[in-house]
Structure 1
């Protein structure tokens, strides 16, 4: 009997110094319109794909990090490309920038988050649910 190979989800930074791989399917994909994600991505909206952290491995250089608790963002110290963010309240998950994935077209977002901070001139009319704040509930029930 042939062994079925798991889906591999790969990505990395712009220069290739950091590579990552997830061995299980994503658990989340969204847009975020919050000001912090805009500043971190340099774009009018950020898009993320999330995985269970236990399913993810990294190769190459270690990512540089910054952030204010509970959110920590990672990026390549060589090329500056944003890689991912983690949230202490969801320590079992990692959320990769959609643009860091090798095949971003495979991870269509399913929801818009923080639409209360959405830029007034930027609107994607895709019929997806639109949340005023975060799209992933935190264990403490925080909704900010």
Structure 2
């Protein structure tokens, strides 16, 4: 019997950092916090969460500790933001949706930091869980 184990590849803008995430994601979210806006240069950041052990790397993101115990990974060559992780819980890693070669299979399940959401995002899908 063959087991279905999807793989999802992606990487940075210049290709110096590549990854393959195996299996299904364990979560996905839109983050509206101020730091994610600064990091992404966008009004909202979208992440797909995988078990850390299911992600393999060709080239490694450089970590930046944006707040105590919270790390944002970026390409050391082109600066593309790729990951977010909580150093206190290294069992999962959030990968930016735009880093995937094909982001279409993924669905966000939560909106985080809604109290910081920009007014232009006021029409957010009410069927997705909102967390403040």
Q: Which residue of structure 2 aligns with residue 37 of structure 1?
A: 36
Shift of 1:38: 0.6
Q: Which residue of structure 1 aligns with residue 5 of structure 2?
A: 6
Shift of 1:114: 0.4
Instruction: Point out where structure 2 has 5 or more consecutive residues left out of the alignment.
Output: none
Q: Which residue of structure 2 aligns with residue 123 of structure 1?
A: 122
Is 1:66 aligned to residue 73 of structure 2? Answer: no
Shift of 1:4: 4.0
Look up the SS of the partner of 2:115 in the other structure: helix
TM-score, structure 2 normalization: 0.91
Number of matched pairs: 130
Q: Which residue of structure 2 aligns with residue 92 of structure 1?
A: 91
Q: Going by fraction, where is strand more abundant, 1 or 2?
A: 2
- Give the whole-Å Cα distance in 1 for the aligned partners of 2:6 and 2:120: 38
**Cα deviations by residue, 1:86-124 (Å, 9 ceiling, x for unpaired):** 102221111001111111121121111100111123234
Is 1:18 aligned to residue 17 of structure 2? Answer: yes
- Give the whole-Å Cα distance in 1 for the aligned partners of 2:118 and 2:48: 22
Shift of 1:50: 0.4
TM-score, structure 1 normalization: 0.84
Aligned CA RMSD, in angstroms, stands at 1.4
Instruction: Point out where structure 1 has 5 or more consecutive residues left out of the alignment.
Output: 133-144
